[in-house]
């Protein structure tokens, strides 16, 4: 694809690209159109050397859709801007955000379209990379027999399962999103099949017996985390923003820098439609 207003350097043939020449604080016109094209093509975009206030970061997110408020703030009463998810990993952190392969908030009836994380402080000794994996390729690299078996199945995504991994238990009267989605969804833009289960949120496959569900999910999770052919790795520098297609990408934050710090803010773009089952 030819770009006139930005420069795009792929990280791998399957997923990820670094974008140069885009000032996200004032992105508009043809440059914005080309960023959207690159996002559809590469699923993960890396923007270096950005200088963004919180309002500017939110304005960038809104170029792709309405921002989503995080349920921890709307349902559990966590303080702070409901449109910003703060990333604060310090020497006092006991469980870091995003250490398992996951897609953000798949427990929502309409999961987010995209996430945009802006890192302002990185560990001085290095580390803290984020890994990304294409769920289009995750499905495409399964055997035809497994692909066929997964079509038509549905899975339960539990927000409580994710919260308990961080030691959070519900208080009386509290609620949190939970939802059922197809195991293989149709990407709403490309129409391609996407594997849509993840270890953080997916609790069970409805149509299978419990032991069968556990075995199939574990197999799919190992397929995702060990198949490096459809992964890319982003090494953070201060003032880097990474945006990813939350419908088609898993990510994993590597916590290899304790007790050093890593800080930033994430905005999330609300999805347009509920996940629809893929039909060949």
SS3 148: helix
Label residues 59-75 b or e (16+ Cβ within 10 Å = b): bbbeebeebbbbbbbeb
Range of the domain at 80: 7-269
What is the 3-class SS of 68-137, one letter each residue?
Answer: CCCHHHHCCCCCCCCCCEEEEECCCCCCCCCCCCECCCCCCCCCCCEEEEEEEECCCCCCCCEEEEEHHH
Q: Is residue 278 part of a domain?
A: no
Q: Is the distance from CB of 181 to CB of 196 less than 8 angstroms?
A: yes
Q: Is the distance from CB of 153 to CB of 212 less than 8 angstroms?
A: no
Please state, in angstroms and as integers, the Cα–Cα distance from residue 196 to each residue in 33, 106, 113, 246, following that order: 28, 9, 13, 10
How far is the C-alpha of 166 from the C-alpha of 155, rounded, in Å?
A: 22
Can you give the pTM of this predicted structure?
0.95
Q: Is residue 259 part of a domain?
A: yes
Q: Is residue 1 part of a domain?
A: no
How far is the C-alpha of 8 from the C-alpha of 233, rounded, in Å?
A: 16
How far is the C-alpha of 240 from the C-alpha of 30, rounded, in Å?
A: 22
Instruction: Say which CATH number the domain at 83 has.
Output: 3.60.130.10
Q: Is residue 206 part of a domain?
A: yes
Q: Is residue 276 part of a domain?
A: no
How far is the C-alpha of 213 from the C-alpha of 2, rounded, in Å?
A: 45
Q: Is residue 245 part of a domain?
A: yes
Question: Domain total for the chain?
Answer: 1
By annotation, the residues acting in catalysis are 102, 104, 251, 266
**Pairing between β-strand 154-158 and β-strand 130-134 as defined by DSSP bridges:** unpaired
Torsion of CA 95, 96, 101, 107, to 10 degrees: 80
Q: Is residue 275 part of a domain?
A: no
Q: Is residue 80 part of a domain?
A: yes
DSSP-H helix ranges across the chain: 29-42, 54-62, 71-74, 135-140, 144-150, 159-165, 210-226
pLDDT in tens, the chain (280 residues): 789 999 999 999 999 999 999 999 999 999 999 999 999 999 999 999 999 999 999 999 999 999 999 887 777 767 789 899 999 999 999 888 888 999 999 999 999 999 999 999 999 999 999 999 999 999 999 999 999 999 999 999 999 888 888 777 777 878 889 999 999 999 999 999 999 999 999 999 999 999 999 999 999 999 999 999 999 999 999 999 999 999 999 999 999 999 999 999 999 999 999 999 999 9
């Amino acid at each position: 694809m030819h770009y006139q207003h930005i420069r795009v350097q792929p990280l791998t043939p399957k997923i990820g690209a670094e974008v140069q020449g885009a000032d996200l604080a004032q992105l508009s016109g043809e440059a914005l159109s080309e960023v959207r094209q690159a996002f559809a093509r590469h699923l993960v975009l890396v923007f270096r050397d950005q200088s963004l206030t919180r309002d500017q970061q939110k304005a960038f997110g809104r170029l792709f859709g309405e921002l989503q408020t995080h349920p921890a703030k709307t349902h559990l009463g966590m303080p702070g801007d409901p449109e910003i998810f703060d990333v604060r990993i310090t020497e006092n952190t006991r469980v870091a955000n995003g250490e398992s392969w996951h897609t953000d908030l798949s427990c929502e009836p309409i999961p987010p379209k995209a996430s945009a994380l802006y890192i302002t402080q990185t560990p001085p000794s290095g580390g803290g990379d984020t890994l990304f994996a294409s769920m289009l390729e995750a499905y495409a690299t399964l055997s035809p027999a497994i692909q066929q078996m997964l079509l038509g199945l549905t899975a339960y995504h539990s927000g409580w399962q994710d919260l308990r991994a961080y030691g959070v238990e519900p208080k009386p009267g509290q609620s949190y999103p939970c939802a059922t989605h197809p195991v293989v969804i149709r990407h709403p833009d490309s129409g391609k099949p996407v594997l849509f289960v993840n270890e953080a949120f997916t609790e069970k496959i409805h149509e299978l017996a419990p032991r069968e569900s556990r075995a199939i999910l574990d197999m799919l999770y190992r397929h995702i985390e060990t198949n490096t052919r459809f992964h890319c790795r982003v090494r953070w520098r201060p003032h880097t923003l990474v945006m990813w297609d939350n419908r088609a990408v898993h990510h994993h934050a590597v916590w290899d820098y304790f007790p050093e710090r890593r800080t930033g803010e994430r905005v999330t773009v609300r999805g347009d439609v509920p996940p629809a089952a893929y039909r060949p």
